[in-house]
Amino acid sequence: MDDMLTFEEIKNNAEIQMYFRYMGKYFESTNEAFNLIKRKSYDENHALQAAEVAERVLKYLGYKKREQELSKIAAYIHDIGNIISKNGHDQSSAIMFLNIIGDDRYDEDVFTIASAVGCHEDKTAEPATPIAAAVVIGDKTDVSHERIGREDLYDLDKHSLVVAACQKVNVIVNKEKMSIELKIKIDSTICSVMNYFEIFMSRINYCRRASNVLKCNFELYINDDKFL
């Protein structure tokens, strides 16, 4: 098993690094809206943040080391398909990953990663595996990657205002309670808690479904008040 795929290998893969560089450049130079709000949805910071949370969720819930690593890899590459289009990027990310790995290295681990990536935006089904569920938690709880400069607030749409209002986001895994807690600090001078719900309800639903797969309750705290 010396050909086993590792996070380090993926993190240092020249092709994947090129995608991250290109996506950063592309969105900065061609998309005015992205420039305006300095959104960094597709860059490596989000990938690393999602990977860290996905790994931690499985670790604290007692999953095997290998499962933690597969989830970390999947979370790191889950959005690379955005280089083609946001539309259907879950599928394209998975296919790009398979192409990068090459069919001479296909094994169960590779397919587990591909399927976790391929279903991370699925609104209709539960994540297929705990590994896929941890990717969803890592992805959908990361709001801070879309950090927006306060100086730009005058011209923001509702979604961006909500993102700008999120001052701090914490994901806490509690094995005793079997809960995954999302703790958010919102600056209510920028947006109301109601606005937050309006914009992020679908994210919250993703997190709830993913938590179910992990046999956990999903809890949401905003400014220390419990909402879920």
Give the binding site for Fe ion (CB under 5 A): 79
Answer yes or no: are the C-beta atoms of 17 and 117 closer than 8 Å: no
Q: Which is nearer to Fe ion, 146 or 219 (CB)?
A: 146
Which helix (H) or strand (E) element contains residue 174? strand 166-174
Residue 176 three-state SS = coil
Residue 141 three-state SS = coil
* Cα separation, 205 vs 201, whole angstroms: 6
Q: Which is nearer to Fe ion, 121 or 219 (CB)?
A: 121
Tell me how far, at minimum, the Cβ of 115 lies from Fe ion, in Å: 15
Tell me how far, at minimum, the Cβ of 121 lies from Fe ion, in Å: 5
Tell me how far, at minimum, the Cβ of 21 lies from Fe ion, in Å: 19
SS (H, E, C) 4-66: CCCHHHHHCCHHHHHHHHHHHHHHHHHCHHHHHHCCCCCCHHHHHHHHHHHHHHHHHCCCCHH
Q: Which is nearer to Fe ion, 79 or 219 (CB)?
A: 79
Q: Nearest residue by C-beta to Fe ion?
A: 79
Q: Which is nearer to Fe ion, 1 or 125 (CB)?
A: 125
Tell me how far, at minimum, the Cβ of 208 lies from Fe ion, in Å: 17
* Cα separation, 7 vs 70, whole angstroms: 8
Tell me how far, at minimum, the Cβ of 139 lies from Fe ion, in Å: 6
Q: Which is nearer to Fe ion, 131 or 222 (CB)?
A: 131
The 8-class DSSP code of residue 215 comes to T
